Structure 1
Amino acid sequence: MKVKRGSTVFLKAIIFLVGIAVLAVCIYFLPEAARKDAIERPDDYSLYPLLLCAYGVCITFSVALYQIFKLLTFIEKNNTFSELSLQSLKIIKKCTFTVIFFILLAIVYLRVRAQFTGDDAAGPISLGLMGILATSIIAAIVDVLQKPIKNILDSQPKNH
């Protein structure tokens, strides 16, 4: 399967830029939000569980981006139907479920906190549900991509 190098280079550049954006969120925006919240409410630690979930999502998303980058490298080298490609897809799929887990944790925390404070958490919860939907779609796509690779690898004779 011959793939034009320009398309994979373009995708790698996009992945790299997204990775830089995730790094900026982790290094600048999340600590800045925590700092501002600590100044406004010095004795309130209710933001910390959400920060933990946000960092969990960012780290897991970064691992998935790295695996996608590796997968594109395998495609460039015509190793699309290899055990390494299948392994990268498996890790990406695990990352999608981990992101869903962190989003669900944040939703549960927001819902419980809303019960005690009387806040309206419908907006953030609906954004979380949309994130779960998008991540589930990615997991389904990865699963669809995994099956033909697994079938091809299973049909090849094993060299022992």
Structure 2
Amino acid sequence: MEKVTTLFLKIAVILLGVPVLGLCIFLVPELANLSSGLLPEFGLIKYFVFIIFDGSAIPYYFALYQAFKLLRYIDKNISFSDLSIKALKKIKYSAITISILHVLVLPLFYIFAEIDDAPGVIFVGLAVPFASMVIAVFAAVLQKLLQEAIDIKSENDLTV
């Protein structure tokens, strides 16, 4: 049963990467062109959009890879190890990096909201940094709980 569950989660992790790849290929160039069209006085805004959005895909895929490694550790029955703690720590830092990168883009969302007179655009811009920080906090909590469980397990191993 455990192998089926982790197989399902591995497939889910792989499928989580597909939409982001599609966004990076199709949507980011459109956003870059739109931003350079709306803000022609800022000539390098197009490259800024490319760097931030495509650059945030790198820590995203790194976090997905770490999640995949974590699922492999569960399959190998070594989930209560320092390897799992390191993977969770890397997921936490990746989520923080994504959040920071998308906070850098928030002024651009503000400018778009001013131009289109649509204040809801700012909330759309806040969605990714907020979700990333939630993931970072969740990974930090899991990391701490796993560390405590490993400490208890090692104490019990020494007692017996």
TM-score > 0.5 by shorter chain: yes
Mapped to 1, the partners of 2:147 and 2:13 lie a distance apart of: 25
**1:125: how far off?**
1.8
**Which region of structure 1 is more displaced relative to structure 2, 124-133 or 52-61?**
124-133
- When the two chains are superposed, the root-mean-square deviation of aligned CA atoms in Å is 2.9
Query: Counterparts in 2 of 1:1-150, with a 5 A limit?
Result: 4-34=2-32, 37=34, 45-111=44-110, 113=111, 118-119=114-115, 120=117, 122-150=119-147
User: Which consecutive unaligned segments of at least 5 residues does structure 1 have?
Assistant: none
**1:23: how far off?**
2.0
Higher relative contact order at CA 8 Å, sep ≥6: structure 1 or structure 2? 1
TM-score, normalised with respect to structure 1: 0.78
Size of the alignment, in residue pairs? 152
Residues 15/77 of structure 1: CA separation in 2 closer, same or farther (3 Å cut): same
Contact kept, 8 Å, 1:8 with 1:76, in 2: the verdict is yes
1:143 maps to a residue whose letter is A
Mapped to 2, the partners of 1:31 and 1:87 lie a distance apart of: 35
1:148 maps to a residue whose letter is L
User: Which consecutive unaligned segments of at least 5 residues does structure 2 have?
Assistant: 156-160
- Structure number with the higher helix fraction is 2
Mapped to 1, the partners of 2:98 and 2:120 lie a distance apart of: 19
**1:58: how far off?**
1.5
**Which region of structure 1 is more displaced relative to structure 2, 54-63 or 94-103?**
54-63
Q: Secondary structure at the match of 1:47?
A: helix
Identity rate of aligned residues, in percent? Answer: 34
Deviations for 1:51-94, whole angstroms, at most 9, x for unmatched residues? 22111221111111111111111111111111110000000000
